[in-house]
Amino acid sequence: MNLNRLASIVAAIAMLSLAAGCGDKIEVYKAPKEKVAAAAPETAPPSGEPPPMPSIKWAALPEGWAEASGSAMRVANFTIKGTDGKQGAEMAVLPIPESSGLAETSLVSMWRQQLGMGEATQEELAKMTQPMEAGGATGKLYDIANGANESGDRILVGVVPDKGWMWFFKLSGRNVVVESQRETFTNFVKGIEFVPPQPRAPKPSAPATAGGGSSGRPQWKTPDHWEDLGAGMMQMAKYKADGEGGSTEISVSRLGGAAGGVAPNVNRWRGQLGLSSLGTAEANASAKPMGVPTGDAKLVDLAGDSKSMLVIMVSQGGATWFFKSMGPKAAVERERTAFVKFVRSVQYN
């Protein structure tokens, strides 16, 4: 499977998993460890759904750590300052159902790709892996570094199973900061506790409003000729536009905070089109400022050998919205005006 496609699937499953509880309230507790919540009665999950997801709690944050807003994918998110007082790393907590069937080795390859590295050999995998604990469960810690110098990037990812879920504790940022936080990170994760989930609530039946307005979804106006394909695994909405030159697919998704930054996303999209990665400065410069009624927006315009892509990133309400049009060059260009008009019509909740 193409690694860029895999990255999308991983994000999709993480987002889907948080919605799969059909009414479960997903909470993150910050409480002393001795205050353990009583176990809730277990109920069998509906066919095809992951089991109810536990919540997590921790006693206290390490010095220099600050809690940041989460997202549909992240149930907890922290920023970490370097010795210069600036943010040098980020730690995110992401749950994925074990039933997703994703191989950890494939995930490692995806994380390596984020740092501009190739797939790992079995020997490299063995060197970068060691045991890690969280909530009394034992998993693995992957150490992925792009160069040993201080200005390079590094990712530490702890993968720990618990009651049908794989919990990902991902520390990423500047090499020197991540390395200095290694012991603090592993000790913090070891002290996290999994709180048994509450029983599933009945699925509410609330029809979605046309053009947006369903839970968590903004209002927008779509062109009449766009076909609504419904929400995708990782998309809040998805459309198809047919016409001369072929079909283009338009999707809408939302991630918390800066969603990893402009440059990593630009290079991920370039990879989807078979284009080589750019340096950070060049990748950031390729995202052009664009005016929208609310929030700051950037437009990324990419063209591969046979396909093109337009992505508009909008910062709004502590999150980043991604509006993406991808398909044959002629089709994407045909829909350019309608696509931009669509993005500018969005009224965020």
Q: Per-residue pLDDT for the chain (349 aa), expressed as one digit of tens each? A: 444 444 444 444 444 333 333 333 333 434 333 333 233 333 334 444 567 777 888 888 898 898 876 555 677 888 998 777 777 889 988 888 776 666 666 777 777 877 777 777 778 778 888 899 998 889 999 988 876 555 578 899 999 988 888 888 999 888 888 999 999 999 999 999 888 765 544 444 433 334 554 446 788 999 999 999 887 656 789 999 999 999 999 999 887 777 777 888 888 888 888 888 888 889 899 999 988 887 679 999 999 988 999 999 998 877 888 999 999 999 999 999 999 999 999 988 7
Q: How far apart are CA 203 and CA 219, in angstroms?
A: 23
Residue 259's nearest CA partner among 71, 128, 79, 103 is 71
At 156, list the tokens: 């530490």
**In the chain, beta strands by DSSP E:** 28-30, 55-58, 65-68, 76-81, 87-97, 129-134, 137-146, 153-162, 165-174, 193-195, 226-228, 237-241, 248-256, 287-290, 296-303, 307-316, 319-328
Q: Do residues 198 and 192 lie in contact, with contact meaning Cβ atoms separated by under 8 Å? A: no
Give me the amino acid identity at 9.
Answer: I
- The DSSP 8-state label assigned to residue 106 in this structure reads H
| Long-range CB contact pairs, 151-160, < 8 A, 24+ | 151/175, 153/115, 154/115, 154/178, 154/179, 155/111, 155/114, 155/115, 156/182, 156/185, 157/107, 157/111, 158/132, 158/134, 158/186, 158/189, 159/104, 159/107, 159/132, 160/132, 160/133, 160/134, 160/135, 160/189
Q: Do residues 194 and 53 lie in contact, with contact meaning Cβ atoms separated by under 8 Å? A: no
Residues forming beta bridges with residue 308, ordered by sequence position: 303, 327
Would you call 219 helix, strand, or coil by DSSP? strand
Residue 290's nearest CA partner among 265, 323, 267 is 323
